[in-house]
Amino acid sequence: METKMKFTKFLANLAGAATLAITAATGALAGDTDSKAFMVLDILPLKEGATLEQAYAYFKGVEPIFAKYDFQRSDSALEVGAVVRGDVTANVVNLWVTDNPDAAFKGIFSDETYLAEWVPDRDAIFDLEKATIIVTQRGQTITTPNGKINHP
């Protein structure tokens, strides 16, 4: 009887450890996007004849390459419903996060696989001359010409 109880306790501990490992792995795979210092807004118009399906397939394909350079998607690709104000042409908006945008961009744009296999698709799908890419920095303060102010 005592052996059976020890074995049951062992199985319970093993199950708990497995659950913890799976939870940790899932969080690592998903990336802790809320703790990254920079968010990049990737605002992209499609070229005439290109489709959202092509755009989403492109992003799905490049995500592992981008992740190698600490450039992770913060959300799924977002389809633009309307531009309420401003002179922006866009069909798709992506939110990416990183701790070092300069290093991420340098890594991505020197990656041989990305250049050979994905840049031709990118150039066929997106009108990059009309694209808008904005790098924002997260923080508790905003830097102004007059100094730093706290976020509201």
Q: What is the pLDDT of residue 138?
A: 82
CATH number of the domain located at residue range(s) 33-150 in this protein: 3.30.70.100
- Chain segment 96-148, per-residue pLDDT in tens: 999 999 999 999 999 999 999 999 999 999 999 999 999 998 876 777 888 87
Which range (30-34, 60-64, 76-80, 145-149) has the least confidence?
30-34
CA–CA separation, 124 and 33 (whole Å): 29
Q: What is the mean pLDDT of residues 69-80?
A: 85
- Chain segment 80-92, per-residue pLDDT in tens: 888 898 888 889 9
Tell me phi and psi for residue 69, to 5 degrees. Answer: -110, 25
CA–CA separation, 72 and 67 (whole Å): 5
Domain ranges in the chain?
Answer: 1-30, 33-150
| pLDDT band per the 50, 70, 90 thresholds, residue 17 | very low
| pLDDT band per the 50, 70, 90 thresholds, residue 67 | very high
**pTM for this structure?**
0.68
